[in-house]
Amino acid sequence: MKESKLQWWILATVIIGTFLGRLDQTIVNLALPQMIDYFGITVSAAGWIATAYILANAVFVPIWGKLGDTIGRKKVYIIGFVVFIIGSVLAGFAWNLSSMIFFRVVQAIASSADYPTAMAIIAVTFRDSRARAQALGIWSSSFAAASVFGPLIGGPLIDSFGWRSVFLVNLPVGLIGLAMALAFIEESVSEKRTVKFDWWGASTLGGALAALVLVLDKGLDWGWLSLNSILVYLCVIAFSVAFYFVEKSHPEPIVDFKFFKIPIFNYTLLNNFIIFMGLLGSIFLIPIFAQTFLGMDATQSGYLFMPMAFMMVFAAPLGVKLIGRVEARYIIFASTAVSAIGMYLFTILDPRSSAWAIIIPLSIMAFGMGFGMSQRTSIIANVVPENEIGVASSILALARNIAGAFGIAIFGTILQNATKAKMVAISLYSTVNSHTPAVLKQAIALISLKAQISAYSSVFITSAVLVGIGAFLSFWIRIDKEETGHTKNAEVFVE
C-alpha cells in the first residue's frame, strides 16, 4: 500500500477508537434512568457511574501518554483497545451498582490510552506539517461526531434492547477497530527510551487528580466549605506538593516541567483551559433548561446538540485550509470570539423559546470551536520534540478534562447562588394584591420561575465573558515557523 494511502487508513483507524470512547460516554448517560430502576438505586448513587469514569480517565491519561512514548504507541493503543472491549462486555453483564462502577473504571482506564497515543500516532505518521494539521483537525472532529450519533444510536438501542446493549455494542465495533489497528498502525517510540518509569510521579499525580475531580464533582452537593470538601482540598494540596518534588528530582518524570518553559505551550494550554471551562461549564445546563422549562424529554433535548456537532465537523476543515496562510493566533482569536458570541445568545432564552433558540447559539458556538480546533492541536504537536508528543498531548487532554470539571462545578454553583439571590431581589420588588392561598402559591411559582430564568442568564453572561477573555489571550500565542519541536533541539525549552 502506498505511504500516502496508508496514512489515511491509519487516521481512520484512530478515529474509530476515539469515536468509540466518546460515544460510550454519551450513550451511557442516556441509559442511566433504566440502570437506576434495574439496580434499585438513587439518582445520587447513579452519579458515581459517571464520576468513577471521569476520575479514572483523568488519572490515567498522563500515564498512558508517557508509556506510549516509552514502550510503543501502537502497543499501548492496542492494549487500551483490548481492555476497553473487555470492560465494555463486563459492564454489559454488571449485576449491581458496585460491579458497574468497577467495570466503568476498567473502561475509563482503557479509554484514557486513546487520546495521547492517537495524537502521537497521527503526528509521527503525517510528516508534512500541513497534512498533519489537517489530519489532527479531522481526528478532533470525531469528538463532535460522537455526540451526534450518541442520541441517534443510544435511544433506539435502549428502547429496543435495554441498557445492557449500550455496552455490548462496543464489542463488534471494537473488534473492527482492533483489526484495523493491528493491520495499519506502525509502531513508534520515543528516541529517548525510559530506563526507570516514574511510578511515584504517576501515583502522586493520580492522587491529586482523583481528589480534585472528586471535589469538583461532589462539592456542590457536599458544600464547598463542608468537612468532606476541606479534607479533599487537603488531599489535593498534599498530593500536588509531593508530585512537584518527585518530578523535580526524577530523571525521567511523567510530566516534564520543561514543557512549561515554552511560552507558546503555556498560552495555548491556558487558552484551551479557559475556553473549555466556559463552554463545558455552561453547556451542561442546556439539556436541564430544555427539559425543565421547554417541556422536552431527554431524547428531544439530545437532538438539540446534533446541529452543533455537524457544524463543528463542517468548520474544522475550513480552519485547516488557513494553516500557513493566516497566523494561528488570529484564527484562534476569531474562532474563540465566535464561540463567545454564540454563548451570549443563550441569554435570551425563556420558557416561550423554541428549539431554534437553542440550536442557533449552539451551532454558532460549535462553528467557532471547530474553526480553531486544528490550530490548537497542531501547535501542541509542533512545538515539542516528536519523541515527547504523547506526554505533551496528554497534558493538553488533562487540561481540557479538568477545565470541564471546573466549569461544571463553578457554573453549577453560580446558578444555585444566583437563583437564591434573585428570588430575594424579585420578592422585594413584587406586590401581591390578593393573599388567598391559591394566589400566593401562584405568585411564589412565578417568582421562582423568573428567578431561575434570570439565574441561567447570569451563567451564560459569565461564560461568554470568560470565553471572550480566552479569545484575547490567544494574541500571546506566537510561533516561529523556523522553530518547531520537530526541527529544533532541546535548547528551546530553556529560553
> What are the residue boundaries of the structural domains of the chain, listed by start?
1-197, 201-251, 255-495
Please give the grid coordinates belonging to residue 269. Answer: 494550554
Which CATH architecture group holds 1-197?
Up-down Bundle (1.20)
Fold match between domain 1-197 and domain 255-495:
yes
CA 233 from chain centre, in angstroms, equals 23
Write the class of the CATH domain 255-495: mainly alpha
pTM for the full model?
A: 0.71
Alpha-carbon distances, residue 68 vs 265, 389, 485 (angstroms): 21, 10, 18
Regions of the chain short of the pLDDT cut 50? 482-483, 486-495
DSSP at 93: T
- Residue 489's pLDDT is 35
Please give the grid coordinates belonging to residue 364. Answer: 454558532
Closest CA to 314 of 377, 370, 378: 370
Angle between helix axes 3-39 and 97-111 (nearest 10 degrees) is: 170
Residue type, 334: A
Q: How many other CB atoms sit within 10 Å of the CB of residue 222?
A: 16
Coil, strand, or helix at residue 261? helix
- Residue 82's pLDDT is 92
- Residue 494's pLDDT is 29
Please give the grid coordinates belonging to residue 377. Answer: 492541536
Q: Are 87 and 28 in contact (CB under 8 A)?
A: no
- Residue 44's pLDDT is 60
Close Cβ partners of 139 (under 8 Å, ≥ 6 residues apart) = 11, 14, 15, 18, 118, 119, 122
Q: Report residue 124: phi and psi, to 5°.
A: -85, -20
Long-range CB contacts (within 8 A, 24+) of 175-178? 175/85, 176/16, 177/13, 177/16, 177/17, 177/20, 177/81, 178/78, 178/81, 178/82, 178/85
